[in-house]
Amino acid sequence: MSQKVCIKQLPSGVPGLDSILGGGLPEFSFNLITGPPGSGKTTLAHQMMFALATRERRALFFTVLGEPPLKMLRYQQQFSFFKPGMVNDTIRFVNLADAVASGRFDQVLASIMKEVEAFSPGLVFVDSFRSILLEATPHAKGALGPQEFIQQLGIQLSSWQATTFLIGEEPSASDTHPIFTVADGLLCLYQSVYRNSMVRKIQVTKLRGQATSPGIHTFRITASGIEIFPAAVVPGDTESGSATAVAPRSDGRLAMGVPGLDAMLGGGLPSGYSLLVAGPSGSGKTILATAFLAEGVRLGQPGVIVAFEQTPSQSWTRTIDDLVRSGKIGLINTRLLDLSIDEIVQHLIDLIHRMKATRVVIDSLSGFELAVAPTFREDFRESLFRMVSVLSGLGVTVLMTSELEDRYGDLRFSPNGAAFLTDAIIVQRYVELDSRLNRVMAVVKVRGSAHSNELRQYEITRDGIIIGAPVVGYEGLLTGRPTRTPASPTAPGRRP
Amino acid sequence: MSSSGKTGLRCEAIRRSLAQRHGQDPGAGAIAGAALGLWREVADCLAPLIGSRGVDALVRRSLQLTTPAFPWLGLSGERADGLGPLTGIKPLLEARDPMAATEASVALLVAFTDMLATMIGASLTDRLLDPIWTSPPPKLPEETAS
């Protein structure tokens, strides 16, 4: 039997936090939560405290000179995690202002330890340690200084078998401050302001003995408290499939729900593929995506749609609404303009698992890019890559739409290089033939599969997309200046 | 329950608690002593939570809110003995007839609890202070010793 110590990990109660901590909060660890005013430090501490406190593991929350305790209690109650019934039972608040006002670190330490010994907590919070460091100063030679105070606090609380959190703004000269050496864990909260949007971010800078998720993760504060969106991790080649995959990999193909399109794709869209449908405004991308989802529902394959451009007046939106209302497809419809891709990916993954979805539609990448906070737009392509990889790891088949500017001299399938990331591409275009504006569609690629290379006319009717005949007898259609092929005088839309 | 309903219940609980502490047919002096005793319990309960200065600030505001109904409470000057804003009201209560002393004491405590409930919610206020209104008066040190 192993004689090594096994550190128990406490579930933090904050969605997403355990994931970036590498499993949970190490029991009896001494942690710092730092960040500027308004970054969510106190909220994070309260959320963890109300989640973790039990009769067997009681919590002591020391308030100092930072936020007045009355206000803290008033505002923290706005969150659903705050349970007044736990106060003075499993949770005790203690104000340290008088001890701190004495200006002596040893008196502050004695006050903390007196309360700890009286209440015997398994969790201790001190909000804020910065106030203590600023207010208390060693009076006499030989008196406890800030460094010894922090070290003593860490030693005594760890010996008392309490998991401890010191909360506060980052002390100046942070890289050399002893508190960072003493701490087992360091959670840094930021507010990233870029142009007119603000995004909240969190980083686990240090956590002894655990493989944390490196990098900066975004989070949001809602009425339920803090929700962290761990940065999506691209599964490596060595991983033998994701453990959370909802759809087993298969060689099967998915029906698109548009007559004739499956044949163009070489027999349907290969399962697990990502398909980009690119076309100008009004070309029917959303209609095609809706048909894809509706066909899935018909075949017992649940789907999920992430919509950024839905307007209630559209009949096809009503189709989606009907499917959503009947619980056959899941919908993420957001008009927030400060999203991180990781936030969407997290909600999408949750919904995919909940719906056991195998088909996913993102409509559209253009709307998605607009909804993402400006600070993330520079990295949009990389983030898209991560998202597509994560969805691919889940085994779902993804259809993404992309608004395509009708610039005939410049044939691109998406403004952000998404074409490179996808396994299949369908392009829709307008072409002028015989003084009429016609819609045409072609399959540009289906990775590892034969597919049609025809440019097919199509119409949008009440029954959906009707694919017609190939456009023959013309060349240069995609340049916007088609000319009749001299060798073949056949009219467009008619089979030779 | 509406806030006025809550206030009514608190008012009754405070009145009962005060009566329990001063006994039957009390004089104004006994009422003043009982009221101060209750305030001490309230301060002991809340000071660790919101700090003694936080409690004093709420008491001052309660005095201000209660003074229009009992103008003589406004005469309580805060003494410089560090005992907080309530120290001056004991002689004022003792100088009144028992009914006026009772009504003023209850009104002051009700104003305080209502204000606390406005700040931190009725649920948490009741959670913190109900034990004071519902428990028997704490024994004084000499009573415990005898």
In contact, A479 and A485? CB cutoff 8 Å: no
In a 10 Å sphere around its CB, with 0-12 CB exposed, 13-18 middle and 19+ buried, how is residue A483 labelled?
exposed
Q: What DSSP designation does B82 have? A: S
- Of the partner residues A63, A77, A93, the one whose CB lies closest to the CB of residue B121: A77
CA dist A296 to A323, A462, B39, Å?
11, 20, 69
Chain B nearest C-alpha distance from A79 (Å)? 13
Which of A50, A67, A73 is the mutation pick for testing B, counting most B CBs within 10 A?
A73
Q: Which residue has the tokens 């392009």?
A: A427
Q: Is A418 helix (H, G, I), strand (E, B) or coil?
A: helix
Which residues from chain A sit within 8 angstroms of residue B46, using beta carbons?
none
Decide if B121 and A94 are in contact by the 8 Å CB cutoff: no
Q: Would you state the pLDDT for residue A426?
A: 94
Which residues from chain B sit within 8 angstroms of residue A69, using beta carbons?
49-51, 54
Strand-pair partners of A124: A60, A164
A&B contacts, CB < 8 Å:
49
Q: Is B47 on the interface with A (CB under 8 A)?
A: yes
Chain A nearest C-alpha distance from B68 (Å)? 26
- Of the partner residues A70, A94, A98, the one whose CB lies closest to the CB of residue B120: A70
Decide if A87 and B127 are in contact by the 8 Å CB cutoff: yes
- Separation of alpha carbons B75 and B89, rounded Å: 8
In a 10 Å sphere around its CB, with 0-12 CB exposed, 13-18 middle and 19+ buried, how is residue B90 labelled?
middle
Q: Which two tokens stand for residue A494?
A: 């008619």
Chain A nearest C-alpha distance from B131 (Å)? 11
Strand-pair partners of A135: none
Q: Is B24 on the interface with A (CB under 8 A)?
A: no
pLDDT by 10s per residue, chain A, length 496: 567 888 899 999 999 999 999 999 999 999 999 999 889 999 999 999 999 999 999 999 999 866 678 888 999 999 999 999 999 999 999 998 878 877 788 888 899 999 999 999 999 999 887 777 766 665 555 667 777 888 888 888 878 889 999 998 876 655 566 777 778 999 999 988 877 778 899 999 999 988 888 888 999 999 999 999 998 776 665 444 444 566 555 668 999 999 999 999 999 999 999 999 999 888 999 999 999 999 999 999 999 999 886 554 455 667 788 888 888 899 887 766 677 788 888 889 999 999 999 999 998 888 888 888 777 777 788 888 888 888 988 999 999 999 887 666 666 666 666 677 889 999 998 888 777 888 999 999 999 999 998 999 999 988 889 999 888 888 877 776 778 887 655 545 444 4
Q: Is B128 on the interface with A (CB under 8 A)?
A: yes
Which residues from chain B sit within 8 angstroms of residue A94, using beta carbons?
48-49
Neighbour-count burial for A435-470, b at 16+ CB within 10 Å, e otherwise: eeebbbbbbbbbeebebbebbbbbeeeeebbebbeb
Q: Is B51 on the interface with A (CB under 8 A)?
A: yes
Kindly report whether the global pTM for this prediction surpasses the value 0.80: no
Q: Is B115 on the interface with A (CB under 8 A)?
A: no
Chain B nearest C-alpha distance from A94 (Å)? 5
Decide if A73 and B53 are in contact by the 8 Å CB cutoff: no
Which residues from chain A sit within 8 angstroms of residue B121, using beta carbons?
74, 77, 84
For residue B71, the tally of other CB atoms under 10 A from its CB is: 9
Decide if A74 and B48 are in contact by the 8 Å CB cutoff: no
Q: CA nearest B52 in A: which residue?
A: A98
Q: Is B69 on the interface with A (CB under 8 A)?
A: no
Q: Would you state the pLDDT for residue A112?
A: 92
Task: Tell me if the bond preceding A366 is cis, omega within 30° of 0.
Answer: no
What is the ipTM metric for this complex?
A: 0.76
Which residues from chain A sit within 8 angstroms of residue B119, using beta carbons?
70, 73-74
Q: Which residue has the tokens 């989640």?
A: A51
Q: Which residues of A touch B (CB under 8 A)?
A: 63, 68-70, 73-74, 77, 84-85, 87-88, 92-95, 97-98
Q: Is A373 helix (H, G, I), strand (E, B) or coil?
A: coil
Decide if A94 and B49 are in contact by the 8 Å CB cutoff: yes
Q: Which residue has the tokens 């949970």?
A: A24
Q: Which residue has the tokens 């540009």?
A: A444
Decide if B54 and A85 are in contact by the 8 Å CB cutoff: no
Q: Is B15 helix (H, G, I), strand (E, B) or coil?
A: helix
Which residues from chain B sit within 8 angstroms of residue A93, using beta carbons?
48-49
pLDDT by 10s per residue, chain B, length 146: 666 777 778 888 999 999 988 888 788 999 999 999 999 999 999 998 888 888 888 998 999 899 999 998 887 665 544 457 887 888 999 999 999 999 999 999 999 999 999 989 999 999 999 999 987 766 655 544 44
Decide if A98 and B52 are in contact by the 8 Å CB cutoff: yes
In contact, A249 and A241? CB cutoff 8 Å: yes
- Separation of alpha carbons A324 and A361, rounded Å: 13
Which residues from chain B sit within 8 angstroms of residue A77, using beta carbons?
120-121, 124
Which residues from chain A sit within 8 angstroms of residue B122, using beta carbons?
none
Which residues from chain B sit within 8 angstroms of residue A92, using beta carbons?
48
Which residues from chain B sit within 8 angstroms of residue A95, using beta carbons?
47-51, 54
Residue B134 φ then ψ, to 5°: -100, -15
In a 10 Å sphere around its CB, with 0-12 CB exposed, 13-18 middle and 19+ buried, how is residue A17 labelled?
buried
